[in-house]
Structure 1
Amino acid sequence: MKATKTKRFIGDESGAVAATYALALIPLVAFAGVAFDYARVMGMDSELQNGADQAALAAASQLDGRAGACARASQAASTMLNNLVVLASDSDFITLTAEDGCDAAGQIRFYQDKAKTTAATADDNANYVEVYVDARQVDYALLPITGRLASGALEGIAFAGLGSAICKVPPVMMCNPQEASDPEFDTAAYAGHGVRLIANDQGGLYGPGVFGYLETNAGSGASATAQTLGRVDPPGDCIQVDGADVKPGLQVSVLDALNTRVGVFANGLNNACGANNGLCPPPANARIDLLQKGGQCRIGNSGFQVGPNPYRPTSPVNDLTTAEWTPLDPMGFPRDKCHAVSQLGSCTLGPMGDGNWDRTAYYGTNGLGSMPTSWSNYGYAELSGRSTPTRYQQYRWEYDQAAAGGSQLTNVNVTGGYRTQRSPLCHGPGVAPAATPDRRVLSIAVINCVAEAVGSNTTDARIQKFVDVFLVEPSARRGSGSNIITEASDVYVEIIGETTLGGGANQGQEIRKDVPYLIE
């Protein structure tokens, strides 16, 4: 009997699993510790890297090449990075100390190149920024069983730069007309000033006041450029660039598409503007200096042309007297007087005017009565606080008064079979001022063409800034022989203000500049 029980005990396998688990307990605890502590380490690493990434992006957004760029970038990074690292053993805040130097030392480092081989030395060559976050460590909770007490030092490093994107805007550029004296182009100082933009019909390098076009992904050739200039919704998407590529060729023909923005339509615009020019609507306030005779929508005989008694001042200083303006045709928005006196003009600032246009003659010839004494009451925040209107304000005011029942935009017949264009004579009723987009407002790139040595095939020219301008008149030849006032390739605009990044200041066209991006 005893032998039977002994034999049964020896052969019984009950409880074998418990023994197995007992033997496996130590490695199981070790593996669980590895997983738990590894998750903490990776979580803290992500915290540090995320903080570095956000700080680098904030810093890169300030690298615009202007004075104080490095200091602003450093301040942006230190302000952005103030995160509590909850997984670190000290559970302390990550902070960065702002640095003023444009160099590659410290926790905030600036470089000229993406390869980080050349440290920045000044605000204008600080193109990239690297942010280094102090190293932290995690004290392990379970891994001491395996012999490890703490993680190694973990750190966050991020490297970022600043790109530019041109989105859904007519690809027009102008050479800074005041590059020699004001390379930064202080836009606020020129609000209301007229600018005579001159086509580069001689080839070679571009100079102050010369305008041209930029390459986009809308297509090549004059036809694609015309579409981008004339359409209310220009083709092409955002192109992120470090600089602008200048489109070669004069391409005067594309100015016909630009003229649709003041209600003038040449023949043969179907490719650029679609059937019946439906893709290029006129503005609701289409007042221009040309009169229509014959009912055609183009410039020339039987269309828009200079009237029999145009505004042609002889003095760049004085407004015309009543006796001088009474016999004139109803005026369109005029040039600054110092530009209106001759083809080259007599403006002290050359292609840049002084904002002094003949408001007396303009109001008189158009029967607008007395000029308002205060423009701040009309809510034009773009150029408030002025005692006399800019042309852009006048354009807005006329439409507002007409919309309220006034006759400011009523077209009238003029002696000799001519007719004024105030509201559009072709393809009306037109797009209201300050709409999205405003047809007579362009966002254009300003480039220091001398410093950038811009020519007809220049690539990566640095865009100084984008400015909003008001299209004063259609591009057309005025005068002949020695009495030419403007060439057909000239464009005259008025400065409104600096374009708001992310959206046009006044016309709402989509534009983005200074887009920060992570490199590593």
Structure 2
Amino acid sequence: MMRSRLASHWRDEGGAVLVVFALMLAILSGIVALSYDFGRAAATQSEMQSFADNVALAAAGELDGGADALTRAQAAAEQLIADSQTYGEGPGALGAEDFVLTFYAVRPDASGEIDATTTPEAAKYVSVRVADRAVTPIFGAVYAALSGNDAGRDRAGAHAVAGFTRYACNVTPLMICAPGADFDIGASVGRSLDLHLAADVGQLAPGALAPLDPVADLIGMDGLCAGLDGVGLDICMIAAEGDKPVCLADDGVTVRDSLLSVSLDASLNIPFDIFDGPATDLVNDALYPAASNVLSAFEPLLGQCLTGTNVSLSGAAGLPLDDCQAGGTCGLLGDGDWSAGRDVYVDVNYGGTDPYPTATTRFGYFQAELAAELAGETPDGSSGGSSGGLGGLLGGVGGIVDDVLDLVVGPQCTSAVSEDPARRVMVAAVVDCGANGVSAGSAGVPVLGFAEVFLMTPVGLDGTDGVAVEIVGQVGPDPSQNVTDAVLRDVVRLYD
């Protein structure tokens, strides 16, 4: 009987589950313990990464190219951002003493081989490195104590890279090669630039005017140029009147692969009432009006529409380059003195009496002419006759300067006429082509600034590729201070 009971207990497996349960409980407890320790380390890492990201964004927001950009960036990082960490050793607060800033002109890569910059005008990117904090494991320490091993410590640090990009929007997708490495747009207002159309071959020289590929994602194809492509889209983005669907980034523009594929001369001549080549069918199109004043030294040989093959010299004078450029004593950039050329302009067009002596620049003179035109006044201050509006001083289509000379200055070819004095003003990115080795297809070319330039004369009618312009301003953050409707958009973003 006793033997039977012993055999029965021997065969009974009912308590075996306790062993399995005990083993599983030990394993689950270990997993929970490890998860808790890993969670503490991960939480600390997340807190410190959030701190690094916020510091980077705050600092990058000040990298606008100003002379005090680095000072402002450092102050923003130190004073605007405060955070905390929960499980790392040391103080819970995270502040200025916990990170190091490094500034770069180009985006730093993971290898850290990009040289830092201390030049505020060049700095566009900032790297933030937060000092590591040790995170002591709780359950890991218990296990280490039981096993006689060192518990060790997890370390949590953080690194972030942020950059500042300024986009100029509602601009023409064009680029000007700066006349020199030290070219200052703002300091050159009122000076003339003797530009030339860029060619496909070789590195672009100072003074070249070249087409750009705008930021593809920022072309508003539902707007002004909806449904267009190819040359038609190019002409629209350059010559259409209205808000242009174009944005350019100052940290890098892309030059068109084929510079000659864009008919720059045809596009730039539309405001001068010249509809030639691929722009021929745009005459009378309200989207492509001529400026109210298209006075130049050229007139049609036959009929009313001026083209590259239907052209002759008129009895008028167009706005001149600076005197030093006309005399060959200075280069691509004039000095702002056009007094001798102005005398010729006044003698030929106004019979020797300057009606606008207070206008100091060519664009200012042009604006004075337009103001008198819209007021219906003649140069002597009297009424310009019954035509009024576009039929005053500068006439509308076929208008003349009344009581002075029988001089046709209004559009003759198209019926679409713009009263906007900025109709002959375009916005172009200015780049240092020499320092950056710019040629057709170059990408990531940094921009010195965005210049507003006034087109003084038609392009190509004299048999050259020259483009005479006057610098009238630099696109700034305050739209009310810009001649055109161009706007700047500042974008700050994390890269790493």
**Same fold, TM exceeding 0.5?**
yes
1:130 matched residue in structure 2: 127
1:176 matched residue in structure 2: 178
Displacement of 1:50 in angstroms is 5.9
Q: Give 1 or 2: higher helix fraction.
A: 2
- Is it true that 1:356 corresponds to 2:340 in the alignment? no
User: TM-score, with normalisation over the residues of structure 2?
Assistant: 0.67
Displacement of 1:45 in angstroms is 8.9
Counterpart mapping for 1:20-169 below 5 A: 52-63=52-63, 70-79=70-79, 81-83=80-82, 94-95=95-96, 107-111=100-104, 112=106, 113-115=108-110, 117-123=112-118, 126-132=123-129, 157-163=159-165, 165=167, 167-169=169-171
The correspondence for 2:319, drawn from 315, 333, 349, is: 333
2:483 matched residue in structure 1: 506
Displacement of 1:492 in angstroms is 1.0
The correspondence for 2:328, drawn from 333, 346, 364, is: 346
Deviations 1:316-372 (A, max 9, x none): xxxxxxxxxxxxx3x332222333x4xxx5032x11112222333333423664434
On the 8 A contact 1:194/1:492 being kept in 2, the answer is yes
Rounded to whole Å, the distance in 1 between the matches of 2:376 and 2:406 is 25
Displacement of 1:215 in angstroms is 1.9
Rounded to whole Å, the distance in 2 between the matches of 1:91 and 1:242 is 38
Rounded to whole Å, the distance in 2 between the matches of 1:268 and 1:211 is 19
> Aligned Cα RMSD in Å?
4.6
User: TM-score, with normalisation over the residues of structure 1?
Assistant: 0.64
Displacement of 1:184 in angstroms is 3.9
- Is it true that 1:401 corresponds to 2:372 in the alignment? yes
2:206 matched residue in structure 1: 208
Deviations 1:467-492 (A, max 9, x none): 111111111332xxxxxxxx442211
Deviations 1:234-279 (A, max 9, x none): 76554658422221233473311211123332265267x5x73222
The correspondence for 1:228, drawn from 223, 237, 241, is: 237
The correspondence for 1:276, drawn from 281, 284, 299, is: 284
2:469 matched residue in structure 1: 493
Rounded to whole Å, the distance in 2 between the matches of 1:442 and 1:397 is 19
Rounded to whole Å, the distance in 1 between the matches of 2:56 and 2:130 is 10
1:18 matched residue in structure 2: none
On the 8 A contact 2:175/2:431 being kept in 1, the answer is yes
SS in structure 2 at match of 1:412: coil
Displacement of 1:58 in angstroms is 3.8
On the 8 A contact 1:170/1:234 being kept in 2, the answer is no
On the 8 A contact 2:200/2:440 being kept in 1, the answer is no
Which residue identity does 1:509 align to in structure 2?
Answer: A
Counterpart mapping for 1:293-332 below 5 A: 294-300=302-308, 305-308=312-315, 329=316, 331-332=317-318
The correspondence for 1:412, drawn from 383, 389, 400, is: 400
Displacement of 1:289 in angstroms is 3.6
Which stretch shows the higher mean deviation, 115-124 or 235-244?
A: 235-244
SS in structure 2 at match of 1:280: coil
- Unmatched 5+ stretches in structure 1: 1-37, 98-105, 309-328, 374-387, 479-486
Rounded to whole Å, the distance in 2 between the matches of 1:427 and 1:52 is 60
- Unmatched 5+ stretches in structure 2: 1-38, 143-153, 220-227, 378-391
Deviations 1:21-77 (A, max 9, x none): xxxxxxxxxxxxxxxxx9xx97x9988766644442343245467866544532443
Which residue identity does 2:342 align to in structure 1?
Answer: R
Which residue identity does 2:287 align to in structure 1?
Answer: L
Rounded to whole Å, the distance in 2 between the matches of 1:511 and 1:286 is 30
Rounded to whole Å, the distance in 1 between the matches of 2:55 and 2:86 is 20
Question: Structure 1 pair 336/279, CA: closer, same or farther in 2 (3 Å)?
Answer: same
Residue identity (%): 28
Displacement of 1:444 in angstroms is 0.8
Number of residue pairs matched by the alignment: 411
On the 8 A contact 1:110/1:127 being kept in 2, the answer is yes
Question: Structure 1 pair 189/347, CA: closer, same or farther in 2 (3 Å)?
Answer: farther
Counterpart mapping for 1:192-207 below 5 A: 192-201=190-199, 203-207=201-205
- Is it true that 1:452 corresponds to 2:449 in the alignment? no
Rounded to whole Å, the distance in 2 between the matches of 1:96 and 1:297 is 71
- Is it true that 1:463 corresponds to 2:439 in the alignment? no
SS in structure 1 at match of 2:73: helix
SS in structure 2 at match of 1:159: strand
Displacement of 1:197 in angstroms is 0.7
1:430 matched residue in structure 2: 418
